[in-house]
Chain A
């Protein structure tokens, strides 16, 4: 009896987990950095609005 299909299936599951795990970690990190950047941009925009010219230019 050939077990090739079972062996290939089991190894595919294992390698699949590692690939999904690696991609998941990368996406999670990218998202965290993106959120932090967006937050920084909002803070910068708020700061520049607060320290902008008080008088309207003529």
Chain B
């Protein structure tokens, strides 16, 4: 077996995952801080004001990365849930369920910051626009996953039921993504492309990418920390947990 494949298999074991998460969660969280700080500083003080929107466009440096995270985290949660259902890997159940609160947080931030930006630009805090409405449905889906996981006492059955909801909910992601193209929308269309021309001014791209990388690093650190806590709670009676308790922070 190749070393990487073997390492991946070993990571599926709760004690190995605990050791891995203990080391890497803190490192990822610490690594995210300077990236986020630099991104925030650039977004607030370095980038010139937009010629049409003035300073209000600075809100987009927190809104856009949060919106991307809300979709990315849901897709990842569904992927972990599918792996857990097909191959019965316990750690993937734990990881899928640890994704839900973080994703819900980013979705809430997306809606709130979008609403704050919309008030001066659109003249309203909220509109039942396709993009806004589908993003709100995504938040309710996250709440559904969290609620279902909390409602069932048996952790494994709870994770399976909530995971199934996450897998079904993935159908919403392309609807959110293409809502601005399919229906007449107040929300602007795609301006940033990974592969293809980007209409965003070059001076605005660096802080945006810093914020995108910073939120991703933060997410990995937070995911590992939450998954580690859930893993420890599930495995509380096992020998490896008793052995590790002496050295745990």
Contacts and interface: CB of A to CB of B under 8 A. Distances in A.
A29 B102 contact: no
Contacts of A20: 105
Interface of A: 1-4, 6-7, 9-11, 13-14, 17-18, 20-22, 24-26, 28-29, 31-33, 35-37, 39-40, 43
A11 B112 CA distance: 10
A29 B245 contact: no
A28 B21 CA distance: 14
Interface of B: 25, 29, 36, 40, 44, 54-56, 58-59, 62-63, 66, 101-102, 105-106, 108-109, 112-113, 116-117, 119-120, 218, 222, 225-226, 228-230, 232-233, 236-237, 241-242, 245, 248
B54 A3 contact: yes
A33 B248 contact: yes
22 contacts: A3-B55, A7-B44, A7-B58, A10-B59, A10-B63, A11-B40, A13-B112, A14-B109, A17-B66, A18-B36, A20-B105, A21-B218, A24-B101, A28-B230, A29-B232, A32-B236, A33-B245, A33-B248, A36-B242, A37-B245, A43-B237, A43-B242
